Structure 1
Amino acid sequence: MSHLLPVTTILGCKNSMLREGLRHILSSTRFRLHAESLTHGEVALDETAQAGPLLFILDANLYPSGLAEGVWSLKQQYAQARIVVLSDSFNLEGMKAAFQSGADGYCLATTGCEALIKYLDLVMLGEVVFPSAAFLAAISTHGEEMDLSKEAPAIKVSSLQVASAPEGHDSPIRTLSSREAEILQCLMQGAPNKVIARKLDVAEATVKVHIKAILRKIRVANRTQAAMWAVNHLSSNSADASWVQSSDRLAIHSLR
């Protein structure tokens, strides 16, 4: 099977201890380390190295002032390569910028050895992975505070375009009702169904029906993907956000 092929792997680590730790973790896997490392943000690979699956594992600290630019530069030079960013701590804006520049994964440096291998396997299968618990904690304004220094499970995102261009009149969110838009914003805050039902004064079963409709309309598979989709489409300066706010005003006006 193609996903069992050896993967030429290039490490880009500023910290020598992290680099040696990754070498040890990957030593008995299909991720074959290339002789050269990306210590200064640049590496020259011969045609043999580029012929098969190619993976870059980047320490976010390698690009202290321009992680996104570093990812973009590598993607321009090696378009077929997969890129996974390792970060000491979770940074929502940093993760979004990395994905928008072409990264395929964003993991915490505290991730366990076996979990990291599984995440890398998912990336090589074409999935996008990121620490879902840390992500939900970062976007939640009402949820319980979480310890982001602990290992958080990663989720895979299939057919979800993290980097999105501005939406036009055919934007999926414009098909949502004002109530569905409210619930989507609750999902973006990490609220569970019970909390959403209490906040909107509706039955929990009704919330489930609305969420199912939301997932279908914005074309994602689960509530976590919906939350990340909302982060990218309901920013305060987006046209979609303006539409949601206008929709809410119309709904309020109709009740007067």
Structure 2
Amino acid sequence: MPTDSQPAHPFRVFLVDDHRVVRSGVSAYLAMVEDIEVVGEASDGQQALDRMAVLEPADALPDVVLMDLVMPGMDGITATRQIKARWPAVEVVAVTSFVEESKVRGALEAGAAGYLLKDADADELAAAIRAAVSGRMHLDPAVARILADSTRASQQTGDSLTRRQHQVLLLIAEGASNRQIAETLVVSERTARTHVSDILARLGLASRTQAALWAVQEGLVPGPRPGR
């Protein structure tokens, strides 16, 4: 019987990277982690979508996809967006060599629940997977700094937010989706989506992740874990 610290089944992970040696290395890392199981792999975004479609009828979809961003064919940002649109419950963690702000923003805005560099060790990789499954975000420290600097540079203020928008902002910071926000506040998903867009516009931010970081900096919530 699983304990409070162990899931009922290992967290299922799917690897997407165009380099076989990288997939083999990550798979070897995760083989040493008791509560994580690699259930499939792909060499590009389209292959990942095709193979996950095969897993779906068997109720064997992964809990988390570890996604490279720069690949031939369908890139990782496009694949992340399509995975989140088709299988919202599947979390995606970007694992890449690049920390450019455009790639960070692109991955997170596509729905990634974390962003790690390929030199991350096994413990950090496992921590990012567990965080994604539990609805939290795990960012490499360098990535967290990029987002924090960008957020501070906007010099936004929350004085113009309504009481309802403050409620929505807190839910965003806790990692809630538009559907979860709608259910919590007993409004339509369309209304929740409108509130999120209005908050980003009023604060001068480009993404939900920046909104969450803003809430952390303002001391409204503990916020997502920015790495180890």
Q: Does 1:23 align with 2:27?
A: yes
By relative contact order (CA 8 Å, sep 6+), the higher-ranking structure is 2
Per the alignment, residue 97 of structure 2 pairs with 88
Work out whether residues 12 and 64 of structure 2, in 8 Å CA contact, stay in contact via their aligned partners in 1.
yes
Letter in 2 for 1:159: E
Letter in 1 for 2:105: K
Letter in 2 for 1:46: L
Q: Deviations over 1:23-75 (max 9, x none)?
A: 101113222111x4222323233347535762111111236774322111111
Change (3 A) 1:158 1:46: same
Aligned-pair CA distance for 1:107:
0.6
Tell me the distance in 1 between the aligned counterparts of 2:11 and 2:112.
17
Larger radius of gyration: 1
Tell me the distance in 1 between the aligned counterparts of 2:36 and 2:137.
18
Work out whether residues 127 and 158 of structure 1, in 8 Å CA contact, stay in contact via their aligned partners in 2.
no
Q: Deviations over 1:191-217 (max 9, x none)?
A: xxxxxxxxxxxxxxxxxxxx99x715x
Q: What is the DSSP-based 3-state SS (H/G/I as helix, E as strand, rest coil) of the residue aligned with 1:21?
A: helix
Aligned-pair CA distance for 1:78:
1.9
Q: 2:37 aligns with which of 32, 36, 48?
A: 32
Q: 1:10 aligns with which of 14, 20, 39?
A: 14
Letter in 2 for 1:136: R
Q: How does 1:52-201 map to 2 (within 5 A)?
A: 54-62=63-71, 66-136=75-145, 140=149, 158-159=173-174, 165-167=196-198, 171=202, 173=203
Tell me the distance in 2 between the aligned counterparts of 1:65 and 1:139.
29
Tell me the distance in 2 between the aligned counterparts of 1:120 and 1:139.
22
Cα-Cα RMSD? 3.9
Provide the TM-score with structure 1 as the length reference.
0.54
Q: What is the DSSP-based 3-state SS (H/G/I as helix, E as strand, rest coil) of the residue aligned with 2:198?
A: coil
Tell me the distance in 2 between the aligned counterparts of 1:47 and 1:67.
20
Change (3 A) 1:3 1:55: farther
Aligned-pair CA distance for 1:129:
1.5
Change (3 A) 1:162 1:52: closer
Q: Deviations over 1:76-121 (max 9, x none)?
A: 2222111111010212221112111111111111111212111211
Letter in 1 for 2:18: K
Deviates more, 1:158-167 or 1:81-90: 158-167
Provide the TM-score with structure 2 as the length reference.
0.60
Work out whether residues 3 and 124 of structure 1, in 8 Å CA contact, stay in contact via their aligned partners in 2.
no
Per the alignment, residue 184 of structure 2 pairs with none
Q: What is the DSSP-based 3-state SS (H/G/I as helix, E as strand, rest coil) of the residue aligned with 2:218?
A: helix
Per the alignment, residue 221 of structure 1 pairs with 222
Letter in 2 for 1:118: A
Tell me the distance in 2 between the aligned counterparts of 1:169 and 1:220.
17
Change (3 A) 1:46 1:66: closer
Work out whether residues 7 and 32 of structure 1, in 8 Å CA contact, stay in contact via their aligned partners in 2.
yes
Aligned-pair CA distance for 1:138:
6.9
Per the alignment, residue 183 of structure 1 pairs with none
Gapped runs of 5+ residues in structure 2?
Answer: 151-171, 179-192, 205-212
How many residue pairs are counted as aligned between the two chains? 171
